[in-house]
Amino acid sequence: MDKLIVHGGATLRGSINISGSKNASLPILAASLLTAEPCIIRRVPDVSDTNYMIQILSAMGADVERSSGTVRITCADISDVAPYELVRRMRASICVMGPLLARKGRAVVSLPGGCVIGDRPVDLHLRGLEALGAKVEFEGGNIILTARDGLRGAEIDLCGTHGPTVLGTDNVMMAATLAEGITVIESAAAEPEVIDLADFLNAMGAKITGAGTRRIVIEGVRELRGVEHTVIPDRIEAGTFMAAAALAGDEVKLRRVCREHLKAITAAIEQSGHRVEFNEAGNTCTVFRGETFHGVDLVTAPYPGYPTDMQAQMTALLATTPGISVIKDTIFPQRFMHCAELKRMGADIKIDHGTAVVRGVAQLSAAPVMASDLRASAALVLAALTAKGDTEISRLYHIDRGYEHIDEKLLMLGAEVERVKD
């Protein structure tokens, strides 16, 4: 198991490229199950989650070639069973369910287990697929979906107690592309990753309108074809480096970003006292560390609100921002594991009912800390950048799930980090 040692105190300066989006790549890779023709997907980040997805698809019979961010995938002859050994490693593998059911009339996928960021049920995914005519059964830890006579379009409301579901919307949208008739998804997730998937599916020949709004309409087609697609930039990786630049930067430039997708994150960084400038095209941003800082009140919300996937990183920034910040996670109210580790580094944080109250301290100090999930580990790396001393972050595999070459990118910006083997 790798560890990251961060020697705190270096100033970040220079520029890096932001990778393609992990959370857009995963359902898009799964969507290639919908056709027997080859799909070419560019800018797939080389992170362990996309590797798991590729392994799952390969184990199901897909022919996959991958080189420098481009994945060529042909799902000519595939099985309807997603292997438990691979599926259990990544909750997002649930998004093979919709395309598999649509293509094969049957899908066997293991029920995802517990997750450190909170309870993550799949009731909405199943409600949607059932409305399209699938029979849902559970056996031996698996979900078995069958629709021997094909799926039929339906009106489905996907609103849950915590709002819309991103992968649930993806699953139902993918299944509905090959259903007979028209499907309307109400209370759909409007995340940019859902739009990217809809663009991919439409290029394959699907008829989807309304992606990016709360109402998506899908007119079923008989079959889909192979396609070439470039994945959108990773807004959470961009946001993480924006927070790093605000914490420890002088002038940091991030290329290959999308201004439109970063509005809520940009607003939060600016409110805390830093300056963010985009070029005219909106695909490069420069973050300038500010001189006077302010605590921020943040509430996570579905897009276009402030993303839960940037909650931990912003908490790390606010831990050393003078003033009091109040951070509420409405999507995953238990997603505060990073706070216990930040407190070991000297942060002043109190958690109560899905809300963190952060009183900014002047400086954190290094301590051995443990990554508990992907975004929590990113928060620890950020905190370590300005902490006094050398912070050792163990269980680095969490960060490798979703950040492409994070240590190399930090080194390029002048951070002093070392990856070491245990």
Give the active site residues: 115
- Closest contact distance (angstroms) between CB of 88 and ligand EPU is 15
Which DSSP state fits 256? S
Report the Cα 200 to chain-centroid distance in Å: 18
| C-alpha span between 265 and 339 (Å, rounded) | 20
First to last CA, the chain: 6
Render 4-54 in DSSP notation, one character per residue. EEEETTPPEEEEEEPPBPHHHHHHHHHHGGG-SSEEEEE----SHHHHHHH
- Closest contact distance (angstroms) between CB of 402 and ligand EPU is 6
- Closest contact distance (angstroms) between CB of 121 and ligand EPU is 4
Between 150 and 210, CB nearer to ligand EPU? 210
Under 8 Å between Cβ of 390 and 369: no
Binding residues for ligand EPU, per CB under 6 A?
A: 23, 26, 92, 119-125, 160-162, 165-168, 189, 193, 308-309, 331-332, 374-375, 402
Between 312 and 318, CB nearer to ligand EPU? 312
- Closest contact distance (angstroms) between CB of 124 and ligand EPU is 3
Question: CA-CA distances (angstroms) from residue 339 to 239, 353, 354, 382?
Answer: 19, 14, 12, 13
- Closest contact distance (angstroms) between CB of 107 and ligand EPU is 16
Count CB neighbours of 336 within 10 A.
Answer: 23
Encoded amino acid at 186, one letter: E
Q: Which helix (H) or strand (E) holds 418?
A: strand 416-421
- Closest contact distance (angstroms) between CB of 92 and ligand EPU is 4
Encoded amino acid at 180, one letter: E
Query: 112 in helix, strand or coil?
Result: coil
Strand partners for 146: 106, 135
